[in-house]
Amino acid sequence: MSRIFLDNSATTPLDPVVLGAMTEVMANNYGNPSSIHAEGRQARALIENARKTVANALNCSIGEIFFTSGGTEANNMALKNSVRDLGVTRIISSPLEHHCVLHSLDAIKMAETATVEMVKIDAKGHVELDDLRRLLAASNEKTLVSLMHANNEIGNLLPLEEVAAICEEAGALFHCDTVQTMGYFPIDLDATRLSFLSGSAHKFYGPKGVGFVYISNDNIIKPYLDGGAQERNMRGGTENIYGIVGLAKALELAVAEREERAGKIRNLKDHFIRSIKATYPEVAFNGDPDNAHYKVLSVSFPESSKGDLLLMNLDLNGISASGGSACSSGIDVGSHVIGHLHPDSKRHTVRFSFSHHNTIEEVDEVIAKLGGML
């Protein structure tokens, strides 16, 4: 059975061109980037060329890009180091952030090194910007605002430029988790003031286990991982050279093909919305699909005896998607995002997330197969 992969918010398949770039390095560039001999210099050149690719994509300085093991490390670094090294005593975030942000904030609260406040979320899942302005005006403490560019479950988009301007006017630092949007939306860090930004390669058809953090030159922090002098003394440990090369190639392709890919994915998502509403009019969409990431769609199905098995039945029928149902029992922990937006709902939620590799025929097959599962 040929499987249909509609879980591209969780991860994306490795692009064959990226795989080719990585295997070439694996076969021919085994030097340690910290070594001063020819093999080491060749490895170092590959890393610095990759850094230049990322910096060019974001229109920032190469000295502001640091490679990490992924988005989780990048987010932890931005949040915890801003408290430890930059004098931040107050963080404003949202209850809908990714768990790596929320759990980092929990650790900061437990350590009592900074206070954490949550901005209000409206009925559709958007950050209430007036409440953000109110919170920023309520204190003169050094504050970091941490808000994600696109929610990983419902896809809602943050007005990045507007939030950056609000933070700049208030004198607050701004950290943005762009893991879901990197390579999908243009981000110009010369025009948009951010203090920290995070990305992860496997969300844009690159390898797992590698990402990066942007740290503005205005914010000098100390190493997050102690060790050697790698990443310009910011992150100890021999660099993941194959992963870094793969990340850069994947981002280069994503930027070059962004409009073409976006057009394909938008067409798929629109077709899915029209088809599922026509076939199952009782479904509902979570968040604000009209103002969301074009690859993400969170669908709630009516409560039924089969609903609890929906994800399993999709999988058994060769369809990969992910859950996001609100807590309906003591066993089902559910989604914190859907649980916050619809705390009393017992509907069954599935997140479908699309790729430019998907086809209209696959969407039609998913819609048809859903009939026997509801």
Q: Flag whether 307 is in a domain.
A: yes
Domain boundary residue among 205, 232, 256?
256
Q: What is the span of the domain harbouring residue 311?
A: 258-370
Is 82 in the same domain as 167? yes
In angstroms, rounded to a whole number, what is the distance separating the alpha carbons of residues 148 and 258? 20
- Report DSSP state, residue 327: P
Query: In this predicted model, what pLDDT tens digit does every residue of 52-61 receive, in sequence order?
Result: 999 999 999 9
What's the full length of the chain, in residues?
Answer: 374
Is 105 in the same domain as 234? yes
Query: In this predicted model, what pLDDT tens digit does every residue of 337-346 receive, in sequence order?
Result: 999 999 888 8
In this predicted model, which residue has the larger pLDDT, 372 or 158? Answer: 158
Helix (H, G, I), strand (E, B) or coil at 156: strand
Is 233 in the same domain as 274? no
Is 208 in the same domain as 355? no
- Report DSSP state, residue 113: S
In angstroms, rounded to a whole number, what is the distance separating the alpha carbons of residues 333 and 342? 14
Is 185 in the same domain as 96? yes
Task: Report how many domains make up the chain.
Answer: 2
In angstroms, rounded to a whole number, what is the distance separating the alpha carbons of residues 327 and 361? 33
In angstroms, rounded to a whole number, what is the distance separating the alpha carbons of residues 358 and 5? 8
333 band by pLDDT with thresholds 50, 70 and 90: low
Q: Which residue from 341, 303, 297, 343 is spatially nearest to 322, judged by alpha carbons? A: 297
What sign does the CA torsion over 92, 68, 158, 362 have? negative
What pLDDT, on the 0 to 100 scale, is given for residue 80?
Answer: 97
With a cut of 90, say whether residue 358 has pLDDT above it: yes
Q: Flag whether 8 is in a domain.
A: no
CATH number, domain at 264? 3.90.1150.10
Catalytic residue among 100, 167, 176, 327: 327
Query: In this predicted model, what pLDDT tens digit does every residue of 259-296 receive, in sequence order?
Result: 999 999 999 999 999 999 999 999 999 999 999 999 99
What sign does the CA torsion over 176, 180, 182, 187 have? negative
Is 180 in the same domain as 329? no
330 band by pLDDT with thresholds 50, 70 and 90: very low
Q: Flag whether 6 is in a domain.
A: no
Is residue 100 annotated as part of the catalytic site, yes or no? no
Q: Flag whether 1 is in a domain.
A: no
In angstroms, rounded to a whole number, what is the distance separating the alpha carbons of residues 334 and 323? 8
* DSSP result, 15-72: PHHHHHHHHHHHHH----TT--SHHHHHHHHHHHHHHHHHHHHHTS-GGGEEEESSHH
326 band by pLDDT with thresholds 50, 70 and 90: very low
With a cut of 60, say whether residue 331 has pLDDT above it: no
At 363, give phi and psi (nearest 5°): -60, -45
Query: In this predicted model, what pLDDT tens digit does every residue of 160-205 receive, in sequence order?
Result: 999 999 999 999 999 999 999 999 999 999 999 999 999 999 999 9
Is 178 in the same domain as 296? no
In this predicted model, which residue has the larger pLDDT, 192 or 228? Answer: 192
In angstroms, rounded to a whole number, what is the distance separating the alpha carbons of residues 279 and 367? 8
Q: What is the mean pLDDT of residues 39-58?
A: 97
Contact 253, 17 (CB under 8 A): yes
Lowest mean pLDDT among 45-54, 114-123, 344-353: 344-353
In angstroms, rounded to a whole number, what is the distance separating the alpha carbons of residues 190 and 78? 19
With a cut of 70, say whether residue 329 has pLDDT above it: no
Q: What is the mean pLDDT of residues 2-26?
A: 97
What pLDDT, on the 0 to 100 scale, is given for residue 305?
Answer: 54
Domain boundary residue among 237, 256, 275?
256
